[in-house]
């Protein structure tokens, strides 16, 4: 039981990091500054729901992509790992000013859910996770982790103003760089796994 809880926690942390919370936070703050509290809550809920639905579809049905396009899991690992490195580099060079968006339209699905939370790197990683998961337990761990990570995004967006007051622009920039470091480590592991399996 303890190992399952640990697996859920570690997978949730990985998924949450892949959703680039600093970029999402700064984009949410700039895109909702004219909104009242009720509308902010609605945007936060819609964003987290969209992230979870997209993630679940990719996790359980992303495998069909392999049969349709004819590439292997290891090739996809290497490709998604390369995208993760690009995401990590962009986060290392990130700043809150880069993530400012217009508040004229509904920003919950685009750009918050896609492509900020669910960009090419996180999409690739979720598909690899889903394809690698064998058995009911592994699938449940993946689904629960996606749900908890989506709830984490929702809570973060609800507390966005409070977080911004505490962290300020400098704090958000530091958090962005720490997230970038974590994602680069995940990317290295994904690429290494793909290359090791390919060489065998």
Tokens of 6: 């640990």
Tokens of 73: 């899991």
Mean pLDDT of 65-69: 77
- pTM of the predicted structure, to 2 decimals: 0.79
Which of the four pLDDT bands, split at 50, 70 and 90, describes residue 99?
low
pLDDT above 60 for 117: yes
Mean pLDDT of 95-115: 69
Q: How far apart are CA 94 and CA 179, in angstroms?
A: 11
Q: Rounded to the nearest 5°, which phi and psi values hold at 95?
A: -155, 150
8 Å CB contact between 75 and 5: no
Helices 2-18 and 160-199: crossing angle in degrees, nearest 10, is: 100
SS3 71: coil
For residue 2, how many other CB atoms are within 10 A of its CB?
6
Q: How far is CA 71 from CA 47, 55, 65, 76, 182, in A?
A: 31, 21, 8, 7, 28
């Amino acid at each position: 039981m303890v190992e399952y809880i640990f697996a859920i926690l570690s997978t949730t942390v990985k998924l949450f990091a892949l959703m680039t919370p600093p970029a999402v936070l700064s984009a949410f703050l700039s895109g909702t500054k004219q909104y009242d509290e009720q509308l902010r809550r609605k945007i936060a809920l819609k964003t987290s729901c969209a992230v979870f639905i997209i993630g679940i579809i990719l996790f359980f049905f992303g495998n069909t992509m392999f049969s349709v396009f004819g590439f292997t899991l290891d090739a996809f690992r290497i490709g998604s790992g390369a995208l993760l490195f690009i995401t990590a580099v962009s986060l290392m060079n990130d700043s809150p000013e880069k993530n400012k968006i217009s508040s004229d339209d509904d920003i919950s699905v685009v750009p918050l859910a896609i492509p900020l939370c669910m960009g090419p790197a996180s999409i690739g990683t979720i598909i690899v996770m889903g394809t690698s998961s064998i058995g009911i337990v592994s699938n449940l761990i993946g689904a629960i982790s996606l749900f908890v990570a989506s709830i984490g995004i929702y809570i973060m967006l609800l507390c966005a103003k409070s977080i911004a007051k505490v962290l300020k622009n400098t704090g958000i920039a530091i958090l962005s760089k720490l997230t970038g470091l974590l994602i680069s480590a995940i990317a290295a592991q994904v690429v290494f796994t793909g290359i090791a399996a390919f060489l065998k």
